[in-house]
Chains A and B, each alone.
Chain A
Amino acid sequence: QQQVKQSPQSLIVQKGGIPIINCAYENTAFDYFPWYQQFPGKGPALLIAIRPDVSEKKEGRFTISFNKSAKQFSLHIMDSQPGDSATYFCAAPSPRGTYKYIFGTGTRLKVLA
C-alpha cells in the first residue's frame, strides 16, 4: 500500500517564524504534488502545488521544495501568521496511473501571536 510519510505531526512556532513540513513518497504514476490547508470543520483547500519541471515553487509566503531523486518535498511558510494555524496535508498521485491522491497524515500547525 503506497504511503506518503508526513512530518512533523504537530508544530508550534512564534509569529514570523518559518515552519517547515516534510513529506516523502514511494512511487507515483506522474509528478504532481499539492499541499492542502484545512481548518476545523472545513474541507481541505488547495494551498500550492508543484509540477516536475521545477525544484521549487513560491506563491506568496508559501514555498514548495521538491527533490525528485530523494522522493521528498517540503512546504515552507515564510513570516508565519496566527491565521496560518491549521492542519496541512501533502498529497501524491497514486502509483497505479489513476487520478486519486494519497494523502499524508497531516501536520497541525499553531502560530503563536
Chain B
Amino acid sequence: DTGVSQDPRHKITKRGQNVTFRCDPISEHNRLYWYRQTLGQGPEFLTYFQNEAQLEKSRLLSDRFSAERPKGSFSTLEIQRTEQGDSAMYLCASSTSGITDTQYFGPGTRLTVL
C-alpha cells in the first residue's frame, strides 16, 4: 500500500497522560499536514511541514501540542497533558509541492480521552 499511513488507528488514554501519533506520508510527497476532525465537522487545519520545516501552525495548536518531521519523511504529533476536549480524529495528509497539488489523507487516529 503506497498511501498515507497513520499509527495507531485508535488510542484511549486518561486525562493528563501524554500521547504520540505517527504519520508516514506518500514517499515522494514533501508536504505533510495535520488536521483534527470532531464529530459532525470538517477537518480543521493544525500544522504543516515542507520537508522538515514546520511552516505554519494554527491557533488550535496549543502549547500542549507539538509536531515534528525530523528527516522530512514521517511525522509525529504529540499531545501533552491530554484533556477531554482533545478527543477527536487526528488526520494526516501529504502532497507534492505544486500550488494545486492534491492533499491525500490517511485513515486517521481516533483519540478518546477519558
Interface of A with B (CB < 8 Å)?
A: 4, 6, 30, 32, 34, 36, 41-46, 49, 51, 89, 91, 94, 98-106
Contact = CB atoms under 8 A, between A and B. Distances in A.
Given A30-B100, A98-B56, A106-B40, A42 B45 contact: no
Contacts, number: 59
Nearest to B45: A100
A8 to B, nearest CB: 14
A103 B43 contact: yes
Interface string B1-26: 00010100000000000000000000
B70 to A, nearest CB: 21
Contacts of A105: 40-42
B49 to A, nearest CB: 11
- Size bracket of the B interface: 20 to 34
A43 B48 contact: no
A100 B33 contact: yes
A32 B103 CA distance: 12
B45 A101 contact: yes
Contacts of B106: 43
B102 A46 contact: yes
A94 to B, nearest CB: 8
A59 to B, nearest CB: 13
A43 B100 contact: no
B8 to A, nearest CB: 14
Interface string B88-111: 000100010001101111111010
Nearest to A29: B99
Contacts of A42: 107-108
Contacts of B91: 43-44
B56 A104 contact: no
